[in-house]
A and B are shown apart, each in its own frame.
Chain A
Amino acid sequence: MSSAQFVQYLVAGITSGSVYALVGLGFTIIYAVTKIINFAQGEFVMLGGLLSFTLIHSAGLPLVPALILSIIAAAAVGAAMYLLAIRPAKKASVVSLIIVTIGAAIFIRGIAGQELTKAFVRTPSFSGEQSISFLGAHIDPQALWIIGIMVVVTIILHLFLNYTMVGKALKACAINPVASSLVGINPRTMALIAFILASALGGIGGVVLAPLTPLSYQAGVMLGLKGFVAAAIGGFGSPVAAVFGGLLLGIVENFAVAANWGPFTSSYKDAIALVVLLLILLVRSGKLAEEERAG
């Protein structure tokens, strides 16, 4: 492998990894506050992409307002999902609520397919399509947007969680919901905020990804799975860990294609995420069970 090829694989890996990271962040935030694994997380990426396409091409909005509106709309769907499907079933066990999220995912996917479009759609690139040369590798400018926005979003999220009152309340609720409600933090409001944040993150992932690759109403399934693996690598702990989980998964996937380990050809690219997931579950199952008992 030449050094140019190495850089190429690395950049491709970081690009897909950044999208997985944005999805993984959403998983982590909702899990931290509610202990729910939200399997509809990938659908918000799909919504971000499809909505931005609809707003640009059918409503004729300029790029930036269309993107912002799409992210807000995705966040609104996330809020609606919490208020209509999760909160009413508040006394259900966490496992039941996770199943509710799967139902919500199927619902969102179905509505998007019927109401938005069944076709694969792509939105215009943010800044042209002329690729940029970097250390012998060629990079799509949109890839830089994706990586840059992921980094900025992660930093903002970090600052929000650690330096604002609402952010601190979210963290408190994640650490100990009973104690935090004793000091006046409403866990249901915090859960709503977590869902809004997570779906907005998904929406951001969608609007930045749609110019790079065509998305369809079914795109959320695989992206959700990859994001889940990203969050799992990070141990569903800190958001930063989920980001590293996403990047790691993206890079491993791309180098797996490069390496040709024995029978592992490019056919197995998608299987990598599942293998990584299985390994994590095997290695971490003891620890997760411990956390469960402690919690």
Chain B
Amino acid sequence: MRNYLKYAVVLFLVVALLALGGIGCSTKEQGGATPTQAPEPYKVGALFANSGPNQPLGQPEVETVKMLVKKINDAGGINGHPLDVIMYDTESDTAKCATLANKLIEQGVVAIIGPTSTGESMAIKPIANQANVPLISCAAGSVIVKPVGNYTWVFNTPQLDYVAIQRLYTYLQEQNITKIALLTDTAGFGKAGKAWLGNQTLLGEYGLTIVPDGDQTYGSSDVDMQAQLTKISGTAAQAIVCWGTNPGPAIIARNMKTLGMTIPLLCSHGIAFKSFIDSAGAAANGVIFCAGKLPIVDQLPDTDPQKALLEQYKTDFEAEYGIGSANTFGGHAYDALNMVVGALKAVGPDKAKIRDYIENNIVNWPGTGGVYNMSPQNHNGLPSDPKQAMILVKIENGKWTWLQD
């Protein structure tokens, strides 16, 4: 028994050491050059899910922030002050995210960008607001900023979830499709989407109905959705709207091909990754999703106000992280950090002035998500007309193509 205890203790120590090592290199990632110059660095907080279920979205955000901080500091910082972004991994955990938000506030950050998901954003919305620290969320949940109400310190940069759904519904209406089936992920993103997808007012507005037996769900770690799809194929549904992020929609696309289903599959911007095409293979062809303009930047006309900026972001990001790696999620963090940097440049490290600047001076401001027009009533800033806010992308021959409708 004593012998066993010895081993157990050794094992525990090894595990503990490894865990600590892991924390050391993954949770506290400080960007930026060492502040050797006299000017005080500007401290900005960043919270992203660099592990856990939201990792596919959080990772490009982390990478974007690292890249941008390096770029800004290499160019001499903000008005001579180095930018110091204190970044933590929320591990996709709302409770952890709240703790880290408090920690950032104690460390004296002038603004917080992130977190990745709507759930985490809702958890820290009151914290940031009460501490009077501007929070620019990178999550799409409309609940974060609609209505602004007392939460005057909270903003977000992605296209709002219901705008994305309206974008797909607009297309369905134009295609004279009236009967649809839903297939949504049971986790956060899919669940929030399902609530809006099934909203009767919204459905009525676009003349859509969900067929009986057509409201199906799947678990994030399911390996096969043939059962749900077989069920849908027995209904009168003319199209399937799927809300979820990797790898669910890729499995669904493949399963649909296997089952010989030919009705269109429409997805959320949660599949705007190259890995979707890699995972789904030939079955990815024909899938339609709504997104910002980044995936089809090469097909944009030169007159588009976002084109130059999107190309710049894509080139910078892909030079650092590989061809085809740039995606709209990293873009949300890019926009959020750029807003804060713009404010710091104009008004310096004053939290109240930064808030005021973002609310009033982000006007006709091109970002990766769109052209922002913030106002005291609108803390998202993107157009509410779905056709202006988002575009449709159709996958053809393994490539993203702009579906202009």
Distance in angstroms between the alpha carbons of A255 and B231 in the assembled complex: 10
Q: Is B275 at the interface (CB under 8 A from chain A)? A: yes
Q: Is A94 at the interface (CB under 8 A from chain B)? A: no
In the bound complex, do residue A253 and residue B227 qualify as a contact, i.e. CB atoms below 8 Å apart? Answer: yes
In the bound complex, do residue A122 and residue B278 qualify as a contact, i.e. CB atoms below 8 Å apart? Answer: yes
Complex interface residues of chain A between 1 and 39 (CB less than 8 A to chain B): 1-2, 5, 8-9, 11-13, 15-16, 19
In the bound complex, do residue A266 and residue B278 qualify as a contact, i.e. CB atoms below 8 Å apart? Answer: no
Q: Is A176 at the interface (CB under 8 A from chain B)? A: no
Distance in angstroms between the alpha carbons of A103 and B283 in the assembled complex: 38
Q: A120-B247, A266-B218, A270-B219 are in contact. Are A16 and B224 (CB under 8 A)?
A: yes
Distance in angstroms between the alpha carbons of A260 and B228 in the assembled complex: 11
In the bound complex, do residue A254 and residue B223 qualify as a contact, i.e. CB atoms below 8 Å apart? Answer: no
Distance between B191 CB and nearest chain A CB, rounded to angstroms: 10
In the bound complex, do residue B260 and residue A131 qualify as a contact, i.e. CB atoms below 8 Å apart? Answer: yes
In the bound complex, do residue B250 and residue A214 qualify as a contact, i.e. CB atoms below 8 Å apart? Answer: yes
Q: A107-B15, A129-B283, A257-B228 are in contact. Are A212 and B22 (CB under 8 A)?
A: no
Q: Is A269 at the interface (CB under 8 A from chain B)? A: yes
In the bound complex, do residue A138 and residue B227 qualify as a contact, i.e. CB atoms below 8 Å apart? Answer: no
Q: Is A153 at the interface (CB under 8 A from chain B)? A: no
Q: For A138, what are the chain B residues with a Cβ–Cβ distance below 8 Å? A: 258-260
Q: Is B147 at the interface (CB under 8 A from chain A)? A: no
In the bound complex, do residue B223 and residue A129 qualify as a contact, i.e. CB atoms below 8 Å apart? Answer: no
Q: Is A69 at the interface (CB under 8 A from chain B)? A: no
Of A11, A120, A255, most B-chain CB atoms within 10 Å? A120
Complex interface residues of chain A between 192 and 220 (CB less than 8 A to chain B): 209, 212-216, 218-219
The size class of the interface chain A forms with chain B is 35 or more
Q: Is B234 at the interface (CB under 8 A from chain A)? A: yes
In the bound complex, do residue A139 and residue B258 qualify as a contact, i.e. CB atoms below 8 Å apart? Answer: yes
Distance in angstroms between the alpha carbons of A140 and B254 in the assembled complex: 9
Q: Is A162 at the interface (CB under 8 A from chain B)? A: no
In the bound complex, do residue B259 and residue A131 qualify as a contact, i.e. CB atoms below 8 Å apart? Answer: yes
Distance between B234 CB and nearest chain A CB, rounded to angstroms: 6
Q: A118-B55, A213-B247 are in contact. Are A12 and B282 (CB under 8 A)?
A: no
Q: Which of A83-91, A167-175, A227-235 is the contact stretch?
A: A83-91
Q: A129-B257, A139-B258 are in contact. Are A266 and B246 (CB under 8 A)?
A: no
Distance between A45 CB and nearest chain B CB, rounded to angstroms: 10
In the bound complex, do residue A257 and residue B223 qualify as a contact, i.e. CB atoms below 8 Å apart? Answer: no
Complex interface residues of chain B between 273 and 289 (CB less than 8 A to chain A): 275, 278-279, 281-283
In the bound complex, do residue B8 and residue A89 qualify as a contact, i.e. CB atoms below 8 Å apart? Answer: yes
Distance in angstroms between the alpha carbons of A255 and B228 in the assembled complex: 10
Q: For A118, what are the chain B residues with a Cβ–Cβ distance below 8 Å? A: 51, 55, 59
Distance in angstroms between the alpha carbons of A200 and B247 in the assembled complex: 26
Q: A119-B275, A213-B247 are in contact. Are A265 and B217 (CB under 8 A)?
A: yes
Distance between B51 CB and nearest chain A CB, rounded to angstroms: 8
Q: A129-B257, A213-B247, A257-B228 are in contact. Are A119 and B7 (CB under 8 A)?
A: no
Q: Is A92 at the interface (CB under 8 A from chain B)? A: yes
Interface string of B46-57 (1 = CB under 8 A from A): 000001000110
Distance between B221 CB and nearest chain A CB, rounded to angstroms: 4
Q: Is A58 at the interface (CB under 8 A from chain B)? A: no
In the bound complex, do residue B247 and residue A269 qualify as a contact, i.e. CB atoms below 8 Å apart? Answer: no
Q: For A8, what are the chain B residues with a Cβ–Cβ distance below 8 Å? A: 226, 230, 259
In the bound complex, do residue A209 and residue B228 qualify as a contact, i.e. CB atoms below 8 Å apart? Answer: no
Q: For B247, what are the chain A residues with a Cβ–Cβ distance below 8 Å? A: 120, 122, 213-214, 216
From A9, A133, A221, B227 is in contact (CB under 8 Å) with: A9
In the bound complex, do residue B226 and residue A254 qualify as a contact, i.e. CB atoms below 8 Å apart? Answer: yes
Interface string of A54-66 (1 = CB under 8 A from B): 0000000000000
Interface string of A261-275 (1 = CB under 8 A from B): 000011101100000
Distance between B70 CB and nearest chain A CB, rounded to angstroms: 22
Q: Is A110 at the interface (CB under 8 A from chain B)? A: yes
Q: Is A280 at the interface (CB under 8 A from chain B)? A: no
Of A19, A90, A255, A266, most B-chain CB atoms within 10 Å? A266
Q: A119-B275, A139-B258 are in contact. Are A92 and B224 (CB under 8 A)?
A: no
Q: For B282, what are the chain A residues with a Cβ–Cβ distance below 8 Å? A: 129
From B3, B15, B223, A212 is in contact (CB under 8 Å) with: B223
Q: Is A157 at the interface (CB under 8 A from chain B)? A: no
In the bound complex, do residue B221 and residue A221 qualify as a contact, i.e. CB atoms below 8 Å apart? Answer: yes
Distance in angstroms between the alpha carbons of A270 and B218 in the assembled complex: 9
Distance between A94 CB and nearest chain B CB, rounded to angstroms: 12
Q: Is A100 at the interface (CB under 8 A from chain B)? A: yes
Distance in angstroms between the alpha carbons of A1 and B227 in the assembled complex: 12
Distance between B52 CB and nearest chain A CB, rounded to angstroms: 9
Q: A9-B230, A138-B260, A266-B231 are in contact. Are A213 and B216 (CB under 8 A)?
A: no
Nearest neighbor of A143 in chain B, beta-carbon distance? B258
Q: Is B20 at the interface (CB under 8 A from chain A)? A: no
In the bound complex, do residue A96 and residue B4 qualify as a contact, i.e. CB atoms below 8 Å apart? Answer: yes
Q: A96-B8, A214-B246 are in contact. Are A267 and B186 (CB under 8 A)?
A: yes
In the bound complex, do residue B222 and residue A269 qualify as a contact, i.e. CB atoms below 8 Å apart? Answer: yes
Q: Is B11 at the interface (CB under 8 A from chain A)? A: yes
Q: For A107, what are the chain B residues with a Cβ–Cβ distance below 8 Å? A: 15, 18
Q: Is B161 at the interface (CB under 8 A from chain A)? A: no
From B15, B217, B222, B223, A103 is in contact (CB under 8 Å) with: B15
Q: For A92, what are the chain B residues with a Cβ–Cβ distance below 8 Å? A: 4, 8
Q: For A76, what are the chain B residues with a Cβ–Cβ distance below 8 Å? A: none
Distance in angstroms between the alpha carbons of A140 and B275 in the assembled complex: 21
Distance in angstroms between the alpha carbons of A270 and B260 in the assembled complex: 25
Q: A131-B257, A214-B251, A253-B227 are in contact. Are A103 and B11 (CB under 8 A)?
A: yes
In the bound complex, do residue B279 and residue A266 qualify as a contact, i.e. CB atoms below 8 Å apart? Answer: no
Q: Is A258 at the interface (CB under 8 A from chain B)? A: yes
Q: Is A156 at the interface (CB under 8 A from chain B)? A: no
In the bound complex, do residue A265 and residue B216 qualify as a contact, i.e. CB atoms below 8 Å apart? Answer: yes
Interface residue ranges, B against A (CB under 8 Å): 1, 3-4, 7-8, 11, 15, 18, 22, 51, 55-56, 59, 186, 213, 215-219, 221-224, 226-228, 230-231, 233-234, 246-247, 250-251, 254, 257-260, 275, 278-279, 281-283
Can you pick out 27 interface pairs between chain A and chain B where the beta carbons lie within 8 Å of each other?
Answer: A1-B234, A2-B234, A5-B230, A5-B233, A8-B259, A9-B227, A12-B230, A89-B7, A89-B11, A107-B15, A107-B18, A119-B246, A119-B275, A122-B247, A131-B259, A138-B259, A138-B260, A212-B254, A219-B221, A219-B223, A253-B227, A254-B226, A257-B231, A266-B228, A267-B186, A269-B227, A270-B222
